[in-house]
Amino acid sequence: MKPGEIHEIHEIPLTAYGRASSVPSPVNRMMTDFALDFRDGIDINLGVGYVNERTIPRKLIEEAQRAVLANPKQYRVALNYGGSKGSPNLIESIRRYHLNNRIKGLDEGILDEKEIIIGPNGATSLLDGVARLVEPGIVITTDPTYYIYCNLLLRTGFQILAVPEDDRGIRTDLLRELIEALDEGRRREIRFVYIVTVNNPTSTILTNERRRELVRIVTELSVDLNKRIPIIFDKAYEDLIHDPDCTKPESGFRNDDMGLVYEVGTLSKVLAPALRIGYMIGPPGVFMRAMVQRTNDVGFSAPLITQEIASYILDHHIKGQIEKVRAGYRERAVAVRAFLDETLGSFVSGCTGGRAGFYYYLTFDEGIRTDTGSRLYHFLTRATGDPDLDGPPGARKPRVTYLPGEFCVHRGGGMVEVGRRQMRLSYGFEELSRIEEAIWYLREGVDYACRG
Ligand SMILES: Cc1ncc(COP(=O)(O)O)c(C=O)c1O
């Protein structure tokens, strides 16, 4: 090539996953745009899944770090590389935590037959591991979906079969019908079932009956296909069931005769997301071995120091910590529900949540859209074009962010239409007074939407 001659140079060849990942997902774009010019103290973020800062036990973390570093006999080489499976101290603490928590149907006998592994970077990294190790095919999940993981599954080549939920969780009757309706070839493409036990975005709590029925379904399916169809219960919010009237959740392991159940848990919501501690409990075997190798490949399990800190807190303080966290979210759930009912009640035809986790999921009446092209969205992002509503340039009025339902419902499923008038609101992050203010803006936005 002569100097100055222009050649069209080809891009770095990417895998199909690489190509799919080179385009940020619409929800990532929306969140990034918002974060870019977010004004602290002015704008109100009801869109993120951040935990409440006050629930993070800074003092305990300090105490734990000191205790870990002062006791190298128990907490060996805490500032060195960790192993691929996770800190033996933390694994033992998680095991004890599950036994002490008296999860229905879980006893020492059952846990002794399971393996516990710690992920490289929270539960997210373990879910990513599943997506990388299982051959692409169909994943069954709940609609609305946990949009972050389902987006990853789509990029890694999976197809999603999303089954609507009701107030008891995924509709297992519909799931059976949908499986029946698949022809033999399609049924053979089913790879695993992924269920968030306190669903994100809806916060609907999966009942114990449904949980048992799901285990029955994967057992029957595995026998029918002569192939293991695992079910992954993502228990991210299960420790945050704060309504005292809720029945205690039961372990999926209870009726799992074939060893198909895997549970994924995280300490992000009850301790601190920054510790990045996620774990998986499941039967030892080929799949668990592959998961551990995957952890090794991406840089070992979570930083050993944070694993040991988590182990110390689980051993010494977890009961009080969880009680505090639950009480905090309970209070917020009740207060926010009252604001919502009072301010938006006459425009909302459905509202789930408030018993666990920190999200409400609203369905507005017909005609009130929430998607990023809607009047309500424009109003709340102060992008109507009317300076009276948006505020003058350079001093825009407070903006409110939420997660539009269009990003949560499965885009090939039956909820696309209703998703356009749904939204997830987080009451985790912002202070109550700011949430109340945001709900008032929401009401103004709804009035504006109704005028259009
Ligand atoms: C359903 C669900 N699973 C997993 C996670 C991720 O947990 P971690 O912080 O351990 O990666 C979240 C976080 O919001 C979640 O909502």
- 237-271: per-residue pLDDT in tens? 999 999 999 999 999 999 999 999 999 999 999 99
212-247 burial by CB neighbour count: b if 16+ within 10 A, else e? bbbbebbbebbeeeeebbbbbbbbbbbbbbbeeeee
pLDDT digits over 278-335, tens only? Answer: 999 999 999 999 999 999 999 999 999 999 999 999 999 999 999 999 999 999 999 9
The beta strand positions in 157-268, using DSSP E, are 159-166, 169-170, 190-196, 231-234, 261-266
pTM above 0.75, yes or no: yes
Contact 142, 162 (CB under 8 A): yes
Ligand 1 pocket, 144 CB below 6 A?
A: no
Residue 137 CA to residue 66 CA, distance in Å, equals 47
Ligand 1 pocket, 122 CB below 6 A?
A: yes
Ligand 1 atom showing the smallest separation from residue 267 Cα:
10
Query: In the prediction, which pLDDT does 32 show?
Result: 83
Distance from the CA of 13 to the center of ligand 1, in angstroms?
31
Ligand 1 pocket, 200 CB below 6 A?
A: yes
Ligand 1 atom showing the smallest separation from residue 273 Cα:
9
| SS3 of residue 161 by DSSP | strand
pLDDT over 70 (residue 3): no
CATH of segment(s) 24-55+322-451: 3.90.1150.10
Ligand 1 pocket, 429 CB below 6 A?
A: no
Tell me how long the chain is: 452
Distance from the CA of 264 to the center of ligand 1, in angstroms?
9
pLDDT over 90 (residue 28): no
pLDDT, averaged across the chain: 95
Ligand 1 pocket, 49 CB below 6 A?
A: yes
Residue 451 CA to residue 378 CA, distance in Å, equals 14
Q: Domain coordinates of the chain in residue numbers?
A: 24-55+322-451, 58-316
Query: In the prediction, which pLDDT does 4 show?
Result: 66
Decide if domain 58-316 falls under CATH 3.40.640.10.
yes
pLDDT digits over 406-446, tens only? Answer: 999 999 899 999 999 999 999 999 999 999 999 999 999 99
Ligand 1 pocket, 236 CB below 6 A?
A: yes
pLDDT over 80 (residue 375): yes
Name the pLDDT band for 105 (thresholds 50, 70, 90).
Answer: confident
Query: In the prediction, which pLDDT does 373 show?
Result: 96
Residue 271 CA to residue 313 CA, distance in Å, equals 9
Average pLDDT over every residue of 199-211: 98
Ligand 1 pocket, 119 CB below 6 A?
A: no
